[in-house]
Amino acid sequence: MNRLLLFLTATIACASAKPNIVVIMADDLGYECIAANGGTSYKTPHLDQMAKQGMRFEHCYSQPICTPSRVKLMTGISNIRNYVEFGLLDPKQTTFAHLLKKEGYATCVVGKWQLKGGMEGPGHFGFDDYALWQITRRPSRYPNGGLEVNGQNVDYTNGEYLPDVVSDHACNFIEKNKEQPFLLYYPMILTHCPFEPTPDSKDWDPKSPGSKTYKGDAKYFGDMVTYMDKIVGKILAKLDETGLRENTLVIFLGDNGTDKPVVSMMNGRKVVGAKGAMHDGGNRVPCIATWPGTVPAGTVSTEILDFSDVLPTLCEISGTATPDNIDGKSLLATLKAPKTKHRDHIYMWYSRSGQNKGARSFARNQRYKLYSDGKLYDIKNDVLEKKPLDLTALSDELKQTHTMLQSGLNKFHGQRPAHLGLPKKKKNKK
In total, the chain counts a number of residues equal to 430
Per-residue confidence band for 424, with pLDDT thresholds at 50, 70 and 90: confident
- Least confident residue range of 38-42, 81-85, 320-324, 421-425: 421-425
Instruction: Give the whole-angstrom CA distance, residue 197 versus residue 205.
Output: 8
pLDDT at 104: 97
Spans of all domains in the chain: 19-344, 359-412
Query: Under 8 Å CB-to-CB from 120, ≥6 apart: which residues?
Result: 151
Instruction: Give the whole-angstrom CA distance, residue 338 versus residue 330.
Output: 14
pLDDT at 71: 98
> Sign of the C-alpha dihedral, residues 100, 105, 111, 117?
positive
Q: What is the dotted CATH code of the domain comprising 19-344?
A: 3.40.720.10
Average pLDDT score over the chain:
95
- pLDDT tens digits along 357-416: 999 999 999 999 999 999 999 999 999 999 999 999 999 999 999 999 999 999 999 999
Q: Average pLDDT, stretch 50-72?
A: 98
Instruction: Give the whole-angstrom CA distance, residue 67 versus residue 25.
Output: 12
> Global pTM?
0.95
What share of the chain has pLDDT > 70, as a percent? 95
- pLDDT tens digits along 104-163: 999 999 999 999 999 999 999 999 999 999 999 999 999 999 999 999 999 999 999 999
Query: What is the CA 317 to chain-centroid distance, rounded?
Result: 18
